[in-house]
Amino acid sequence: MSTVTQKIARFVTNAQHVDLPEWSIHEAKRTLLNMLAISLSASEAKGAKILIDWAINEKANEQASIIGTNLKTSASNAALVNGFLCHLQDYDDTHFPTILHPTAPIWPAVLATAENNGSNGHDTLAAFVVGAEIACRIAMSVHPWHYDQGWHITGTAGVFGAAAGAGKLIGLTEQQLTNAFGASGTLAAGVREVFGTHGKPLHAGHAAENGLRAATWALAGFTGGNDIVGGRRGFWAVASRDGHSKDALISQLGEHWEFKMNGLKPFANGIVSHPIQQAVIELRNEFNLKPEDIESIKAITHPLVLELMNRANPIVGLEGKFSFQHCAAAALVDGAGHDAQFTDKKVNDPTISNVRSKVSATIGKDVSEDEVHLQINLADGRKLKKHIKHAVGSPTNPMTDEELMNKYRALSGEILPKSQAENLATAVWDLDNASNVFELCNLMRA
């Protein structure tokens, strides 16, 4: 009888491009475009510079490109740095049921593998889709126990998706991919204590790197056992000791797609506060609100807002990304939630700090993760209310292609000339017709 790890390996190796839902290929392009936009924008940040300088000093073989630079390094180093860049601003996509960020660990591994091996765009897109599905399925199988224990699911589930995507692209057999899962699963890492620091995006980069390495090693004969996921001392037993769901991993695999529950972010911060930000911005614009008008901002939210983003007094910009109070205050003062709202200077701005002190949240019964009931009490006595049922960027209310392109142009324009950025976008949208990814990778370099 096959183990659960062998079953997911069989799904990956048997999956054909023609069997994948048409929407999934289009969504793969959208997530790639989003990754390029946010990685380009992040490429000059302090944390990015640290890893880029490290990659330069490694003097590795020039196999794959680092986004937003003129550098090539080893495929595994490129996967690490690009995964870090993709997650650095917390502007990447999110699988809503589990808060997994699939793109940051998977696309960098797949893209580096494709560039190093000369893979065509058709196969590259398919590899990402199956990798993303595996990561989402792994995440679902341990949700919510794993995250509640303190694990960062993007790093721990993402490494399986990275191995699946890279392994699919280099043609691993079922047994080889089972071994790759064994290697990647034993390297799965990331704890939530480092949220608000460079440690969080490192989880994504490390997952991309380790998934790619595991696939490459397995091709050469590396062994990893037959059931890293379900074994007596495997991933479920060790990293999700309070519970797991076998059905969530393998039931209707290839028929029901968890990847469809993925969404792109309109704001560059923890996704659970997005409904609050959207509601604040809508009321701000509707009533022309100014900071001095505000008596208080009160939100009735999902429990995860208080669990993940209750930082009343962030000190640095990265901490602001995990402060619902700061997110709401910046939305009121600036009418935005881009990375510019999460600098060290911005979190210490007196006007924003003053508004931030007036923001509070309580848990609402049956309030979903993409919902909020918000009330702004004004100094003149008025009480303004806004109910966001499904925030923009959620699977129920996804960003349109036009909205995504607006985000892409704004962020890529910080680094690339306009003509190069437009050509890069065209290369993404036409990727399924490309004989290789070389042009795309050349265009993403600055």
Burial class (CB in 10 A: 0-12, 13-18, 19+), 343: middle
All structural domains of the chain, each given as residue ranges with its CATH number in brackets, are 4-266+400-443 (1.10.4100.10), 271-388 (3.30.1330.120)
pLDDT one-digit tens code per residue, 156-165: 999 999 999 9
pLDDT at 434: 99
pLDDT at 17: 87
CA proximity to 105, closest of 136, 140, 62, 74: 136
384 membership: H or E segment, kind and range: strand 383-388
SS3 content of the chain, % helix, strand, coil (to 5): 60, 10, 35
pLDDT at 344: 97
pLDDT tens string for the chain (446 positions)?
Answer: 899 999 999 999 999 988 899 999 999 999 999 999 999 999 999 999 999 999 999 999 999 999 999 999 999 999 999 999 999 999 999 999 999 999 999 999 999 999 999 999 999 999 999 999 999 999 999 999 999 999 999 999 999 999 999 999 999 999 999 999 999 999 999 999 999 999 999 999 999 999 999 999 999 999 999 999 999 999 999 999 999 999 999 999 999 999 999 999 999 999 999 999 999 999 999 999 999 999 999 999 999 999 999 999 999 999 999 999 999 999 999 999 999 999 999 999 999 999 999 999 999 999 999 999 999 999 999 999 999 999 999 999 999 999 999 999 999 999 999 999 999 999 999 999 999 999 999 999 99
Specify the pairing of strand 294-301 against strand 359-363. parallel
Q: Which 8-state DSSP code applies to residue 100?
A: B
Helix axes 199-219, 158-169, angle to 10 degrees: 40
Whether this prediction's pTM lies above 0.85 is answered by yes
CA proximity to 77, closest of 182, 221, 210, 177: 210
Query: Quick one: residue 112, left, alpha or beta (phi over 0 = left, psi -120 to 50 = alpha)?
Result: alpha
